[in-house]
Structure 1
Amino acid sequence: MSTLPQKFYPVVDHAQWVKRLGAAGARFIQLRLKDLPGEELRAQVRQARTYAAEHDVCLVLNDFWQLALDEGISYIHLGQEDLDTADMPAIRKAGLRVGISTHCPEELERALGLTPDYVALGPIWETRLKKMAFGPQGVEKLREWKQRIGTMPLVAIGGITLERAPSCLAAGADCVSAVSAFTQHADPEGQVRAWLEATTGV
């Protein structure tokens, strides 16, 4: 089973974040782009790919699996709704690694049937950044998920802060993901260094 590049996983909304956080030491970053015209979307992906290569970042593209195929992005993250339309045989044939969001046992079973490279569980705590159909899952749900998936990597996401991250890792998460902890912080680069320190050896 594959392992993840790092124990924390920033989710960002612009290619420049890949450059900034990558330069500070982040090695596993998801680019989640919303509501962009086609050419601007493609330009963002290409720029992020360049920055990722410069800083040895494993770049994960959210949702846009066809664009990942076209632009040579080797890792994608899919939500449950994306699975309805994603061409999984084409994705697998191209050798892309895949992460899948889950929120309930039924979604986990669906995800496991596709043998992803990781599954994400969330939101662990309440989050205001994204309207969620599911309430907070809690740290204990991480233990349950980890027991069910075994050696497959588990990513915790949703309301996770620097202070909360160690409890997620202790409960069985292999990696903790956050958005605002990085992109809305006054010192994003400093946050990367702090998360590196907080998650090393946990």
Structure 2
Amino acid sequence: MDKFDKLTGVAAPLPLINVDTDMIVPKQFLKTIKREGLGVNLFDEMRYDDDRNEIPDFVLNQPQYRDAEILVAGDNFGCGSSREHAPWAIKDFGIRCIIAPSYADIFYNNCFKNGILPIVLPQDQVDVLMNDAEKGSNARIEIDLEAQTITSSDGEVFTFEVDSFKKHCLMNGLDDIGLTLEKAASIRDFEAQASAARPWV
């Protein structure tokens, strides 16, 4: 998993509430078990018409937001089913951070496990950053995970809370497998001792 420390990038505004995981990646794309390749299907039904042509008005189809690495969204983002494909699609598109007033719990936790930082801020602060994001590609927002700060393109600074364990995992690029591998030496020692004590097993 990629490490997350600081991120300075374009933020795309998505001022919608209750964006569920089916809107993030529709069910017909859930057959894959690979984490790569779903970025093209992110917000599929909002990005494309029935003939697979891009809908120009959708934010991620607009030239200034095609390389967005931050998403500023509305309340209750990631609600609905618990599909992990939703953060896979977001990450594969190139978005590393989401800022919203609240998230569905499972989606929120899945983000951390996939290298995405979901930040919770009060609605009035999200509104400021939403307005900032609407300025387009010239408005770059800075995220500093270690300092737990967000700096708008105008230099306004907001602080955010994040669980210390989740912060550690993101900053060190540790998913569940990575956390286990950190204990590889201890696991090997335990297995050697167990094998010596019970060679018949």
Q: How high is the TM-score relative to the length of structure 1?
A: 0.33
When normalised by structure 2's length, the TM-score is 0.33
Q: Looking at both structures, which has the greater relative contact order when contacts are Cα pairs under 8 Å and sequence separation is at least 6?
A: 2
Higher CA-based Rg:
2
